[in-house]
Amino acid sequence: MQVNQRIWLVIIAVIAVGFGCIHLSLSLPKTTGQWQPLESSIYYQATPDAKPSRVEHFIVDGEKLPADTNFLIDEPDLLDFLSDYYQLLKNVGALTTALQQGTLIVQTADAAITLLPQQRNLAELPFLFWLQWFCGVLALLLTLLIWATRPATLVIRLFVLTGIGYAASILAASVYSTRELFIAAELWRALSLTNHAGALLFIAAMPSLL
């Protein structure tokens, strides 16, 4: 394969990965209100003019699900036990399914509110998403361009692996760590595993360059 063909292949691949991450993030459902953890409780603000109310529990398929501030956690790896990790994914997944079906109810200290899913738009993606997205896409672009334009020596290959690992880790995290609250359990697990695999690849390849 010629160098110019490799460069075009790299550009197409990076564009596909970058837009894929944006698409995934935009596909995550949201509500019309705002969620925030405060003093070991979740508070929900239904409208910008409303006062935040403490969430007592959610109602999913007619059953109460206690509100847990971990529902809003950015990184599930911060949990102490693996069982807590799986339970978090299960609970958030159940909330997400109920929201998408239009059957999720949040019981606050003031009222019971039926939540309806809303579509995210580009303007609503937070700064943290774009920061992680930019770093991941830039790392992937630079390392793959080096692969495309340099002889395939062992050092080059190891360097490319560090870039791929870093990009995979941070781009996966950019999606799940900047959700509002809701994400499908299977998607969150897949992104979390991608984050782990990318980090391990980066850690394994980087010392080999020294």
Q: Which residues of the chain have pLDDT under 50?
A: none
Name which of 87, 95, 66 is nearest 181 in CA terms.
Answer: 95
Q: Measured between alpha carbons, how far is 145 from 147 in angstroms, rounded to an integer?
A: 5
Provide the 10 A C-beta neighbour count for residue 19.
11
pLDDT at residue number 206: 84
3-class DSSP state of 105: strand
85 membership: H or E segment, kind and range: helix 82-101
pLDDT at residue number 109: 86
Report the amino acid identity of residue 179: R
Contacts of 74-77 with C-beta under 8 Å, sequence gap 24+, read 74/177, 74/178, 75/173, 75/177, 76/188, 76/192, 77/192
Whether the predicted model's global pTM rises above the 0.85 cut: yes
pLDDT at residue number 164: 96
pLDDT at residue number 49: 86
pLDDT at residue number 152: 81
pLDDT at residue number 50: 84
pLDDT in tens, 12-39: 999 999 999 999 999 999 999 999 998 8
